[in-house]
Amino acid sequence: MTNPLLSTTALPDFAAIQPEHVQPAITELLAAAQAALDEATKPETPADYDTLSRILDTATEHFGTAWGAVGHLNAVADTPALREAYNAMLPAVTEFSTAMGANEALFAKYKAVVAAQGESLSAPRQQLLKHAIRDFVLSGAELQGEARERYAAIQERSAELQQQFSEHVLDATDGWSYVANADELAGVPQDVLDATRLDDGGHKITLHFPVYLPVMQYAENRDLREKLYRAYVTRASESGKPDWDNTAAMREIVALRQEEAKLLGYASFAEVSLAPKMASTPAEVTTFLSDLGKRARPFAEKDLAELREFAKGQPLESWDVSYWSEKLKEARYAFSDQTVKQYFTAPKVVAGLFSIIERLFNVSISEAKASVWHETVKFYELRRGGQLIAQFYLDLYARTGKRPGAWMDQVRSRWLKPTGEQQTPVAQLVCNFASPVGGKPALLTHDDVITLFHEFGHGLHHMLTQVNDLGVSGISGVEWDAVELPSQFMENFCWEWDVLQQLSGHVETGEPLPRELFDKMTAAKNFQSGLMTLRQIEFALFDMRLHATPGVEADVQKVIDDVRAEVAVLIPPAFNRFQHSFSHIFAGGYAAGYYSYKWAELLSADAWSAFEEEGVFNPATGKRFLNEVLEQGGARDAIANFKAFRGREPKIDALLRHQGMA
């Protein structure tokens, strides 16, 4: 039987991939990639862009697609056997990618290509080579002897620790539950009760967000809220199972990053992280965050004072904030998230989203057939003028064995292969919404709708690119602090009346969202925006300070405590261990980069202001955004894309205005 991971067909056969396929396939593909690397670095191999691409990209792209499929299944369909197979191959994969990134002979070839072909190459290829030279240096290509060996060891150990961190968060989330009776769940919405009901009449309450959040917002039982909050904010910490404690992993991950920075000649890992980003120094980032924090603080203090006044002397601990905030929002704006939720069924929202994309970017979207990893996953094609331009998988619902959160990932990128064949991009769009219950369609909160639009923005950036060179097509090569621009840009559609008319239809009557309710939602849009902005700044400053000051990883808790003392207006309880499940920076790509959410939010708000000025569905504005941002991918610097679209440098005014803090 053919190993599905070795297939050269267009799409991975996700349903056929089994744990026993991983080791033989990845071993074979690694060997092929190593052989290609050896061939590319031979002295007699011409230092020519097309030659290197033909030899290297063909082998490494096949390997990357297969390993990407394994990693994806590890994130969305985790089993003990698959986890074991993934972890068994992770060291070899890390070793190869580290060795390739630091290969002196390949580094020399790239420099020779720049010297020989230089400005005669296309702009995307020049950009790709510029990035490649930079990345070789950041990957240790200039290191020698023991330093080189130590750098490789750091990469392997870091990959192992980050995978371990992610597993601990997943296991701690899946591993906690509490069976509550109906009386304990007074106030909790009916759809949550239906989704958690057990055969014996009890309700299984878990830490998965579609259950956790509504219980925290609506449960009248304060003891239950405290129990759930304690479990959630101490996940993967010393308060839980020792096997899931991320304390030591956090310290070692950051210590290894600082050691890597020192080997590369940088003062801190934050400087290494910022080398390929828009922001240039840790000081520039902290100044940006501090300035935004000062602007937001008066609004946050006002938010908290209003909440305390509304609670009328009732306790206001961390497990009370969501509850009283929801009550205040209902009292002030006379609606609740649960009322709104009845108007947003998943099928209607998805159809409305597709309609907007089709209208704005001149494409058609239709469901197609492909092998999927779960029965609820759907597969779609994008076409323009009848021609296939991209495909994507949509995985909407939370389940056991699926990593929390929402994300876009790439199955493969747009690429004009050396054979002349045009490869179209394929994306995975993953969310964790509450599943359908009792034969009815799944209901989405308005925040869920925003999340879906956000991830689809990433997907559009990946799928609508017109760049044909791997490494700068789609989101590849885009500065990390600009990569959120298209995703945050798309969120704005969720606040447009005409758009919400397309997205909404009451689950019982099919009636669209009433104008009165929309007006209340709009009035409440910036409810507690000061508190939420300070919370994001708290996370971003913690991340930057943790990585900008070598040695502080010895007491991670002190770093977060100091940041909270400086920034927060509502200090969490001493037992809070948020950092132990902060996967973005300890197991994702956001180390010394979490600030990029706010940085890119400035860009996206300013970009959206062009649509506000010229018309949300103005064809010329949509085409300009498509041409200058989405199609360009990483082929130009992000600031060049922005200025080409907006006609000027970015300004902070739109961000403050959008968040009610002008």
SS3 394: strand
The enclosing H or E element of 409 equals strand 407-412
C-alpha to C-alpha distance for 455 and 379, rounded to whole angstroms = 16
Active-site residue, selected from the candidate residues 455, 479, 484, 601: 455
C-alpha to C-alpha distance for 94 and 152, rounded to whole angstroms = 9
* Distances, alpha carbon 520 to alpha carbons 213, 264, 447, 475, 517, in Å: 22, 54, 15, 36, 5
Residue 367 region, left (φ>0) first, then alpha (ψ -120 to 50), else beta? beta
188 CB-contact burial (10 Å; exposed 0-12 / middle 13-18 / buried 19+): buried
Strand stretches in 70-109, DSSP E = none
Q: Which residues pair with 366 in a beta bridge?
A: 381
By C-alpha distance, which of 463, 461, 399 is closest to 431?
399
Output the 3-class SS for 492-520: HHHHCHHHHHHHCCCCCCCCCCCHHHHHH
C-alpha to C-alpha distance for 259 and 238, rounded to whole angstroms = 26
C-alpha to C-alpha distance for 98 and 93, rounded to whole angstroms = 9
What is the amino acid identity at position 571? Answer: I
By C-alpha distance, which of 393, 357, 318 is closest to 14?
393
Beta strands 387-397 and 378-384, pairing class? antiparallel
**Residue 628 appears among annotated catalytic residues:** no
Task: Count Cα neighbours of 363 within 13 Å in the Cβ-side half-sphere.
Answer: 22
**Helices 282-311 and 529-548 sit at what angle, rounded to 10 degrees?**
140
SS3 395: strand
- Active site residues per annotation: 455
